Amino acid sequence: MEIKNMNNLPRSCQKVAEYSDKQQYAEAGFWEKLRIQIHILHCRHCHAYHIKNEELTRLLQNHQLKFLSKSEKEEIKARLSL
């Protein structure tokens, strides 16, 4: 998927991806969250990326994988081809 090359993304998309990746989203302010949500709804790239991330988050929560090591989590990420 072309989204893999972050440098090709518009600046605004990179910011949204950053939030998604680093799970900073929960710490973002109300307007920031709203801005991200609206962007995701309208942006094909970010929408696809966001869905992938949601899948991963759900998977991690469902299986309580938070006790896994960093390398094990990386392996799961790789399998989901994020």
| Of 3, 43, 60, 76, the one binding Zn ion by CB under 5 A | 43
Query: Is there binding between residue 13 and Zn ion (CB under 5 A)?
Result: yes
Nearest distance from C-beta of residue 43 to Zn ion, angstroms: 3
DSSP string, 6-71: GGGS-HHHHHHHHHHHHT-GGGS-HHHHHHHHHHHHH-HHHHHHHHHHHHHHHHHHHTTGGGS-HH
Nearest distance from C-beta of residue 7 to Zn ion, angstroms: 14
Return residues touching Zn ion (CB under 5 A). Answer: 13, 43, 45-46
